[in-house]
Chains A and B, each alone.
Chain A
Amino acid sequence: MSKNKTVRSLIQISLLVILTAGLVDCGKPPAVTPASTRSEPTAVVPAATSAGTATSSITIIIPEEPPSFNAVISDTGYDALVMHMSLLGMTGIDPEGNIFPVLASELPTVDNGEVVINDQTKEMDVTWKMRRDVTWADGTPVSAEDVLFTYEAASDPTNGFAIPGLDLVTGIDKIDDYTFVVHFSSTYPDYLSFLGGRQIVIWPKHYCNLDQGYTAWDCGRNPLSDGPYILKEWVTSDHLIFVRNPKYFEPGKPNIDQIIVSVVPDASVRETMMRQGDADILMWATEQVANDLKDASNVKLSISPTSRWVMRLFINLAAKGTTDPVATPNPLFGDVRVRQAIRMAIDVDKITSSVWYGYAQPVWTEFFRPPYNTCNIARPKLDIEGAKALLDQAGWAVGADGIRVCKGCMFAQEGDRFQFDLLTYSEYGEPLILTQQLIGEMFKAVGIQASLTQAEGSVMWADSSSGGIEQSGNYDIDLYDDGYAGIDPSYFLSYYYSSASAVPDQGWNVVRFVNAQFDSLIEETNTLNSQTRQTAFCEMAQILDQQLPQILLFTTLNAEAYSTRLTNIQANINSVVSWNVADWTITK
């Protein structure tokens, strides 16, 4: 009996120890990025603020933790949020799409002689001049050496990362400590974003460990700051605390002493926190949140002038399970008249008003964002009867049960029913599912039967060897939102519409749109001549409008909900909300 008591006591003590350990652990100073993964020297935190004398503080709430401070690797947006608070690139982009210098003292252009293009080879040299008054938080100047280091790290074949434009760079030469030249093998129109913009920043050579690699180095989670704020504390999966960088180069900025970035996974809790005044910025407010918070007197909404994300239908032009639209055209959608009928049958306004609270804006061309929004592409009209007539014309006659069957259609077998899977991804949530349902009903109204299916994003967008639905062509029509980052659509157009990208795992032309004229137009956009680019883009717009490999429906909201006590908060689709963090102020 005494033995039993001993065992029982031991078990009780063990449980108590575990509980106590948990409590004690919470009592410890929050674990900043673990020492074992930290590189030396550690990030410099100013003594005054680290001692807790911050006087003004705001809280940003986000649903998931940033994986690191290097936004180009994972591109979750939350990494860009914290990156722009701590680190600087050569340039930034404002909400209107204007690029402005950050570490650069001026923007290199052809006019100021800092961009030189070889007329024969089209090779391009860009000379960058850097500000001389920017230092890292430890006082070391930010110099061209850091730029070369960042380039070396990113271009490392083992541990680097293919940042946009990097494949065109043949080298970077340092002229002096604050001047360097980037050599491009061909004309690269988006050269101003190559070392800046939304995703790229310069990393400190004396602090980051090149051997650890650009994608995995410790300074990616514990950076040495040259931006407005310094990371003071990172409690994994819970919060990050930033304090003002006293060495920040803009005099008198930033205005707020401390910023807390808190991870709150549940959407309704985030919304409640905004109402209660316990959070100051809710990053990426959805249409639902924007609508719910309309009546909250302490919350404002900043809506980006335009949005990147366009809800669209990706129409597989190759037969399901195949990837060659010429050898095996899609029996249903290979005929362009069918695609046109589908577009005519969708009531976009009904979807935006009933599901997206009126925040979604109808879009029908890729070229709707400035500065390339000047193409004259007319908005397609909702025309149910026209859609029916077009389907009749395409050889799809209404069957006995109201669903159309092939009677003289172009690619399907006679008697085949017009039915297919309308697929979307599950993570987006209710609005996308409701949109899918509405579209399914609209299709049914013209005699098309869509089975509504969902898949995880990691399955939809995996490579073909991993069973990726899109890459292996194993779908009929996909529905989700997409669009280009930054302000230059060239890269997006090439990856989504060029013939080369239609080959499985070689790009994201998963609709298998093959058009030689379009391919040559993509080539034509590799120029700095804005008029030539504009003309080429508008010709592309015409082709896409006629061929309809994708049907664009509407943009989703890009907005930030913020407390009325804050000013200068501006949603920015070309970057993230923290793009101007140094300008934020608390007014009451």
Chain B
Amino acid sequence: MERLLNFIYEYRAFFTFLLLELSCAWLVIENNQYQSTKYFNSSNRLAANILGFSQGVREYFSLRTINEELSYENAALRTQLEKKNQQIQGITDSARLNQFEYVSAKVMSNSTNLYKNFITVNKGAADGITPGMAAISDAGAVGKVKSVSEHYAVLISLLNVDEQVSSVIKRTNQFGSVRWDGLNMRYSNLLFIPRHAEPMVGDSVVTSGYNAVFPEGVLVGIIRAVNLKEETPFWDIRIELSQDFGRLAFVEIVKSRLKSEKDSLERITIGDPK
């Protein structure tokens, strides 16, 4: 026993090193798993305030574009309102009518050039935001909420190699998944479109609504290149993301009122998700 202790003491630097590296590795692996409420990320108040200050300085240089975007968004919202008004006649189920509620949030920090990009926004649990909700902008899909604190939330961006969004080609109704490859912040890939489908350059790709996280039909991107290799069962499809993540200033977090109902129904019939 004494020799063992002596041995450990002699190599204490190495053992400390192992211990620290193992705990780091554990943190890395654990963080890769989806959705959680954590304290040690940019949603904690001090970190978010510091990042918000940095973003605030940067925003002075892009006030003009932000203003333009806001006015576009206003216009888009007005047309949407008009459309909704016309749809309302005929639907009587008020839960269905108010299925989605939108919370507008300001971007505090955003990265686009890592492999795993995250966005911090200034709305959190106090505004009813929980992990798993979708985030969209007027241009299109942005991401999902990964973790929340009282007043801030961290979104997992579409520019994250771990993130997949169930999507559909609008023209042909073929289902697939959009996943980023880590290379160019303007382009992403649409996976799992089978050989017999006929995707074309210029088709729009929208969210499918199968997962009830995103509302159905939110624009994700436009197909820019299609390619079918001899041996693969699926098409290679490259899409241009409709949201330019380099200029993201405001997002809307989508609260889905019917999600829990849909989930619990599916759990009863299909069983727990893996």
The answer to whether A binds B is: no
